Homo-oligomer: A and B are copies of this chain.
Amino acid sequence: MKKDLGVQTAVFPMPVLMIASYDENGKVDVMNAAWGTICGTDKIALCISEGHKTFANIRKSGAFTVSLADTAHVREADYFGIASGNKTDDKFERTGMKAVPSSRVNAPIVEDFPIAMECELCDVVKTEHFHAVIGRIVNVVADEDVQDADGQIDASKLNAICFDPFRHLYYAVGDAVGAAWSCGKELL
């Protein structure tokens, strides 16, 4: 018998998405968002509110990149979620991280994170119950040392972290426990 816990945002694990954009002066801004998902084979939805500097930046620049936070940069990733680009002029600089311009979209790529999606803004969806920035993923870039021998991303090498919405912790990802579209076949 399960117990009632009231209204909670009980999705776990949540990704720790690092959204990078340029402001109106070409300055790099990065924010931390857990409320985001892939929503198509080349699309990502980020449920970020309109007050964020990042939202204004993306509206103006029409682009952003999304990196995955890793265990080596938990502190920086968390800082990107605490500090506001609206209030802190040198938000990105304080971390000592480096960014380079994407060659495909008008947005920065944070060098220190292992992987990034380069995205073009394709829609801002706003209804009574839902608000999101929708991006078209035009390319993914990644460090060589997170790829396997075939050049595919080896997720275990990303050292990605995830967010726990219950007690507000970051967790590492553990071991592989099964193959998708495969281990359940015996029940077919």
Contacts and interface: CB of A to CB of B under 8 A. Distances in A.
Given A140-B10, A154-B166, A78 B172 contact: no
A146 to B, nearest CB: 10
Nearest to A172: B174
A71 interface: yes
Instruction: Report copies per complex.
Output: 2
A17 B22 CA distance: 34
B170 A176 contact: yes
A117 B7 CA distance: 8
Contacts of A185: 78-79, 82
Given A11-B17, A167-B152, A147 B3 contact: yes
Nearest to A38: B9
A127 B125 contact: yes
Interface of A: 2-15, 17, 34-45, 47, 66, 68, 71, 74-83, 94-95, 109, 111, 115-117, 122-123, 125, 127-132, 134, 136-144, 147-148, 151-156, 158, 160-188
